[in-house]
A and B are shown apart, each in its own frame.
Chain A
Amino acid sequence: MSSLQTQARAPTFFDEVVASTPGECHLDQCIQCGTCGGSCPSGADMDHTPRAIFQMIRAGLKEDVFKSNTPWFCVSCYYCTVRCPQEVHITDIMYSVKRMSVKEKGYDDSTAPDFSKTFINWVENFGRSFELGLASMHMIRHNPFGVFKIAGMGVGMVTKGRMAFTPTRIKGMNELKAILTKAKELEVAE
């Protein structure tokens, strides 16, 4: 009979990452060629290149992966995904790692996760993003003195009329809230 059935095993970190990524991400096909690490525009600033992260995932190094700044430095430019010779959906896997590290609070530096959370906070309450609110809350928390550096730019944005002072709320806000609440329930039920 077919000897291709594997014996039952507890799901590994690798299995969890793959399950958490929509569709077929082909992570098992990675040949560690480094095209992703070579293509990444922010790769030089990452603790580990995307390729290294995949090998760490395979090795089950969950903590190290979550502590790495790699997924948070991913700019979603999709160069890696387009060029990967094995069609691994690299960017999608980065998003999965981000989500998993937020869920387990495994990340080291909270700058990026907090930025996303602050951004989404406005969307979940108003239906649209609100830059002034986002920028101010984010700067206060993460870069209070940085506000002086960008003062010039901030003034410029205001004088050029590019900064809204109040958020816009969509009409269907209640419906949107219901949708998102249900969606989050379904996600947790995974």
Chain B
Amino acid sequence: MSEEVRIGVYICHCGSNIAGTVDVAEVARWAGELPNVVVGRDYKFMCSSLGQELIEKDIKEQNINRVVVASCSPHLHEPTFRNACSRAGVNPYLFEMANIREQVSWVTADKADATRKAKALVAAAVNRVAYQQPLNSLFVPINSNVLVVGAGVTGIQAALEIADSGNHVYLVEREPSIGGHMAQFDKTFPTLDCSACILTPKMFNVGNHKNVTMLTWSEVEKVDGYIGNFTVTIRKKARFVNEELCTGCGVCQEKCPKKVIDDVFEAGIGYRKAVYTPFPQAVPKYPVIDKENCTFFLKGTCKACQKFCPRDSIDFDQQDEIITVKVGNIILSTGWDLFDARQIPQYGYGSLPNVFTSLEFERMTNAAGPTSGKVYLRDGVTVPKSVAIIHCVGSRDRNYNNYCSAICCMQSLKFAHLVGEKTGAEVFECYIDMRTPAKAYDEFYQRIMKEGVHFIRGKVAEITDAARTPEEEGKTIVQVEDTLIGKQRRIPVDMVILSAGLEPRHDAKQVAIKFGISCSIDGWFIEKHPKLDPVATMTDGVFVAGACQGPKDIPASVAQGAAAAARVLSIIGQGEIEIEAATSVVNEETCVGCKECISTCPYTAIEFLEDTKKAHVIEALCKGCGTCVGACLSKSISLKHFTDEQLVAEMIGAMRTMTLFEAQGQEVA
């Protein structure tokens, strides 16, 4: 320390949150007598503008050059107080916080214990701050390109907003066409808009946008870099169709002799050919050849598509293309998978022919689907006279997924309407609760009630074909307790629709790892804060939007897509971004080049310099976790703002205080 250390200590009351348990006046008085402390104050709300002015005033008038605030968690207000220091001319890294709320007043019952512990933490902070050094943040420039992964309605929305602002978007989609699950639906609740009709204009816009590079039938392979400077490697899988020549006329599909069950877009109840576009409004219009089912790839024969293509655009020799792009921000909007109802054997899906899942039914009622929009039983010809719709299949169930899938109640009501409209069949809807919270949702429920649907409050126990009475013979029987009358009922119907829950994509975990973010225990991508920051993640520059963050409906997904776009545009608009200065630094003189730090760094933030054979920290990637400091065998790495000297001083401050109390015959909790 080259100059005299003059510390100002401020103890916050936080209303009664702290003051109700800790004797704040006493702590302030006691702090005032610690070495190097010039002033010790207590105040009701340090985070208020008046509280901050206290600090700024003392800095100016009393020449304070180190500040300690004992209040809440740094997660909440470290930036607040650092900014106050900055404004008054003190480097923000000469500030330290002691958490005497979450770590003392909120968890300690006894007031004397709490006050002693607060004193110990304050002493620790005071000791430490004397060793702190001024640091300057790193500013990194932001590449204005953006990567959007997943082109369902969420990704499309985000891409359009960013593209419209003049910045370039790389839109990557794993399927042959953009559109996601929304393209599969028939009608959407609560308006009963035709799903494709409201989606396809957006799909067309994004597909033709001059600022969008659309990469379908593609997947991200690798992501390197950090916010503002990501390098992304994308594999554009071979379509075996030359996009320069193909006009999307569809003759290849027509002529292809190989029919397979389409278990992606048609949810397994329809067929497609080995060369196909998933649906007529596909964007882009170019088909793909499914290598695993194409006769040419399996046996070397056929090639009907090539023979009939008027533009000779079939290219069996086409290879996957590896594309590398540089972007500044990434938005993940990868969507969801449907719960596999085969996991619930007592519901009969997969063994009883007339039990369908929600997606199967969506495809059935869709006018462009396998039955041209008509509702039939599995035989493809019989119109059902009675249909049961079951809520909560695989959701709200500790045997499968504990969470509520958010959309199934509305979806079930929608199905009830569609069944009634298309077939006039009698509809039974079995639910535990009716969750219709958003705008116009409950009104939709009331509309469906008017349509004569039989609502039964009870979670269905079994769906079976084992008839007990003549009326049940040949029917699919739903066994449920009608809880509102307290009786077990068996309802014979022709068809059952299971509102199966939403699940994270089956490879969500691997995708999260690839992008450096995390998944929750249920497998959804984790947001930075569920209430206040639902589209950001803990990894700067990577955002999540839509159902991949948690089950949600289309309005919420679109809103999140737009929110993520806005966040990204705000970062781009700033032109550069500030990186936290508490990063590691390698002492090249003592570094032996063992690479231990490189292998332990969880953020791949350390590189090995081939010319000097030394480790080097990439500051922009470094999160300041300190793992490398512990790993380094030659003690060559130190973490700025968390040096050994500072940490030891902090410990001594606390321990000395505790020893003092013990000597006085008082225990510290």
What is the interface of chain A, defined by CB distance below 8 A to chain B?
1, 31-40, 43-44, 48-49, 51-52, 79, 82-83, 85-87
Contact = CB atoms under 8 A, between A and B. Distances in A.
Q: How large is the interface on B (under 10, 10 to 19, 20 to 34, 35 or more residues)?
A: 20 to 34
Given A33-B459, A38-B461, A83-B346, A49 B398 contact: no
A85 B483 contact: no
Contacts of B460: 35, 38
Given A38-B458, A44-B488, A49 B481 contact: yes
A44 B462 CA distance: 14
Given A1-B109, A83-B461, A85-B459, A51 B481 contact: yes
8 contacts: A31-B396, A35-B460, A38-B458, A39-B346, A43-B488, A49-B488, A51-B486, A83-B461
A52 to B, nearest CB: 5
A38 B432 CA distance: 13
B483 A32 contact: yes
Given A34-B480, A44-B487, 18 more contacts: A31-B396, A32-B483, A33-B459, A34-B481, A35-B460, A37-B458, A37-B488, A38-B480, A38-B481, A39-B462, A40-B488, A43-B488, A49-B487, A51-B486, A82-B399, A85-B397, A85-B398, A87-B399
A33 B457 CA distance: 8
Contacts of B397: 85
Contact residues of B: prevailing secondary structure: loop
Contacts, number: 75
Contacts of A38: 458-462, 479-481, 488
A151 B540 CA distance: 82
Contact of A36 (B106, B481, B482): B481
Given A1-B109, A49-B481, A51-B481, A35 B459 contact: yes
Interface string B561-579: 0000000000000000000
Nearest to A88: B398
Nearest to B456: A34
Nearest to B462: A39
Q: Which 9 A-B pairs have the closest CB atoms?
A: A38-B461, A37-B481, A34-B481, A85-B397, A34-B458, A39-B461, A33-B459, A34-B483, A38-B481
Contacts of A40: 488
Nearest to B486: A52
A31 B481 contact: no
Contacts of A44: 487-488
Interface string B232-272: 00000000000000000000000000000000000000000
A87 B461 contact: no
Contacts of B482: 34
Interface string B392-406: 100011110000000
B461 A35 contact: yes
Nearest to B105: A1
Nearest to A46: B488
